[in-house]
Amino acid sequence: PGATHAPHHVPKEWIDQYKGKFAHGWDKQREITFAKQKQLGVIPADAELTKRHAEIPAWDEMPDAMKPILERQMETYAGFLTHTDHHIGRIIDTIEQLGVMDDTLIYVITGDNGASGEGTLKGTFNEMMVFNGMADILETPEYLAARLEHWGSPEGMPHYAVGWAWAMDTPYQWAKQVASHWGGTRNGTIVHWPKGIQEQGGQRFQFSHVIDVAPTVLEAAGIPEPVQMHGVTQSPYEGTSMVYSFNDAQAPERHEVQYFEMFGNRGIYYKGWSAVTKHRTPWKLGVGDKTVAFDDDVWELYDGSKDYTQAHDLAKEMPDMLQKLQRVFIIEATKYNVLPLDDRGIERFNAELVGRPQTIKGKKQILFPGMKRISESSVLNIKNKSFQVTAQLVIPTAGGQGTIIAQGGADGGWGLMMEKGALRFAYNLLGINVFVTDAQQPLAEGEHQVRMEFAYAGGGLAKGGAVTLYYDGEKAGEGKVLVTQPMVFSASEGVEIGRELGTTVLPRSNPAASVFNGDIKWVELSIGDDDHTHLIDPEDFMHMIMSRQ
């Protein structure tokens, strides 16, 4: 399921049932979880609880003023997970009612690639602040405390603090993004198939990876791996079916080699052994953050047959084995196109900054009514630069009202809209502030061209700029945006024409009220210098578009 991936959203009544249950903090929670894991038998009896790294603060080190906020974060997460489990139960109940449970193969993999440490050391009410490198600046303890009762609601995109992620990765080291260590990769998994698995409640410890799920399904269903699809030769599956282990807990392991890599954190699993190196820290993803050279990374070595949790580093004792596994990593990384390594952080959200190919080329993009949920990578990147929005509209007798175009939503984005007949541009900065520029006069009934020009101030990322509004080429209003979002507007909301879906750019609005009441002929998004082609006669506009096909 999407849970328990951030953001953590759940109705308040699910949160409230955990009120006060985590006042003991994350250090104690790890001890509680570790004891429960051993009781359930999901980890070996001789497994050791790994130590807390210095980069992760102890619960007792956190300011008293922050602790109610931190508790609420974990209460929200627990409610979110319980809510998820409840609805998984509804699916299971339905399968049973249909009478097909015995012949249904069910996988339940719950987690966030290892619990996520992207919420920073203090947690975040809006994870878009983290992905734009602004959380440390904007999310003060006072800001977080003021939103305590709204944690888990649609008003934010909340995420818990690093300490809770570490606790949720018990008994391992680190968290999500640290793909070297088990804390950044291992998730609990349930496999249920009464017809195909004889034992009930058994444990399996053969190494498996998520790429093994598809081969397992094919084997269980008796379907051969596709060689061609519609005449296109398919890449072979890299995974290994898990069916061999379903009825033989002692069967020799078949998935013997697996590489891991993320932001330069890398590891290799090889026949029970693992060699790993943590290159950078998940909650330090800012633009230009300094990292050590890859050659200077310190590698660790673990013997999984004796050390289930990676608690005892054998690198200094067994340098030859470490070197052997490092060589295996290079072989696997070369084979699966991991190289060259890229350890940049949030810059990778912005294709221009990292030199990644973009879906949309050029400086202009034409959009039409009905287009919705267009992903951020599928529209022109207007961040950290000047841009323009032009629309050809038919205004009704009652005056224009509603959204013409919007990108993002309540947690960050912008929109060009009509309010009480007048043109309006709104820029929502991460849900903290909305910069609004209104035209001085309403626009008369009939067909008109409206335009917004944003002149970026320059001088680096996230700067502000000047807004100018136009009616049919004549200035109609002007204003300012003091700060902009440099990397990403939203992880879930895209561009929409003629209305907004999900959340709205303007606070205290709603999707139903955002529907534009007139006709939209087209909307042009552009970057760079103005060549005035938007002023072409509307009757010739379609000819111009067709000539560019």
| Tens digits of residue pLDDT in 147-162 | 999 999 988 999 999 9
**Residue 115 CB neighbour total at 10 angstroms:** 26
Residue 537 has pLDDT above 70, yes or no: no
290: confidence class by pLDDT, cuts 50, 70, 90: confident
DSSP SS3 for 433: strand
209: confidence class by pLDDT, cuts 50, 70, 90: very high
Residue 44 has pLDDT above 80, yes or no: yes
Q: 493, 510 in Cβ contact below 8 A?
A: no
Backbone angles phi, psi at 532, to 5 degrees: 65, 10
Tokens of 57: 């603060």
The closest of 223, 269, 260, 273 to 243, measured between CA atoms, is 223
The closest of 74, 77, 73, 69 to 143, measured between CA atoms, is 69
State the amino acid at position 320 in one-letter form. D
Residue 213 has pLDDT above 90, yes or no: yes
Position 539 scores a pLDDT of 61
In the chain, the largest separation of any two C-alpha atoms, in whole Å, equals 83
The closest of 159, 22, 10 to 83, measured between CA atoms, is 10
State the amino acid at position 286 in one-letter form. G
Per-residue HEC secondary structure of 292-320 comes to CCHHHCCCEEEECCCCCCCCCCCCCCCHH
How far is CA 423 from each of CA 18, 469, 470, 496, rounded to the nearest angstrom?
A: 47, 7, 9, 17
Q: 266, 179 in Cβ contact below 8 A?
A: yes
DSSP state string for 458-480: -SSTTEEEEEEEEETTEEEEEEE
Q: 18, 79 in Cβ contact below 8 A?
A: yes
pTM score, whole prediction: 0.88
Q: Report how far residue 422's alpha carbon sits from residue 401's, in angstroms, rounded to the nearest whole number.
A: 8
Q: Report how far residue 236's alpha carbon sits from residue 21's, in angstroms, rounded to the nearest whole number.
A: 48
| Tens digits of residue pLDDT in 232-245 | 999 999 999 999 99
